[in-house]
Amino acid sequence: MIARWWSCLFGLLCVHAEGTRWTASQSPASIRQVEINSSVEISCSTSLPSPMALSLHRFFKADAQIVYLSLSKANITKQNPREHYIDRVQVTREHLKPEYQVTLQLSKLKRDDTDLYYCSWTYFEDKEFTMEHLRSNGTVLVVGEKRPEAQCPIPTLDLVLVCAGATALILILSFCGVRLYRGRRVRTEGNFRPVPPPRTERPHRNRSCSCNSHPPHNQPYLVTSLQSPYLNR
């Protein structure tokens, strides 16, 4: 979101060199999500035949100048970095053809370094005998936190196949478990025999009858005997 905001603002505030036969360019157009304490490179190019100086500026911070390079016959004769950039800016490459190009490196970046950086070429105008400045389009630099580590994306098809296989395996194991449980239950019920209850011992009856234990009964019948006194009479 921040990078898009800077890009839109850069498009509105871009300075074009109109009415001149010379051109100036700059690359890259934007550098987004740069890590803190890292470094970036900005290349400034021009079609001027004999520029006198090159300077790098920050657009939104009071148009602050970062470094000033004195040139003579397309050669850098002197470098003047500003106080806060003495050990943070340096020239890394210099080309003469097809256009004159100078590459500057900014290091030890901080959050406060987020800005629009543009190159300004100073040259002498023969017709008007004045010193002119030719600006390039600029580079949007956004300094942020450390980039998250890239993770290997998992293909959607592979993920679907893995999930389907895991689901099928779970269903098969569940079905086998139910079948095994039911088989054991049926087998247990078929072999079950009820245990008879323990037999209680009956009390022993005394079969010897004791005559004296019973009271004398009245004999309703007359018992006759040969030895009866009534018969002997």
Is residue 61 a contact partner of residue 70, using CB atoms and an 8 Å limit?
Answer: no
Cα 57 from chain centroid (whole Å): 38
What phi and psi, each to the nearest 5 degrees, are found at residue 8?
Answer: -65, -45
Cα 188 from chain centroid (whole Å): 53
Amino acid 182: pLDDT: 78
Q: What is the pLDDT of residues 20-54, one digit of tens each?
A: 578 999 999 999 889 999 999 999 999 998 899 99
Amino acid 22: pLDDT: 86
Return d(Cα 65, Cα 118) in angstroms, integer: 10
Amino acid 58: pLDDT: 95
Amino acid 159: pLDDT: 76
Q: Which residues of the chain have pLDDT under 70?
A: 1-20, 145-157, 185-233
Amino acid 168: pLDDT: 87
Domain boundaries, the chain: 2-144
| Contacts for 85 with CB less than 8 Å, ≥ 6 apart | 66, 67, 106
Q: Which CATH superfamily is domain 2-144 in?
A: Immunoglobulins (2.60.40.10)
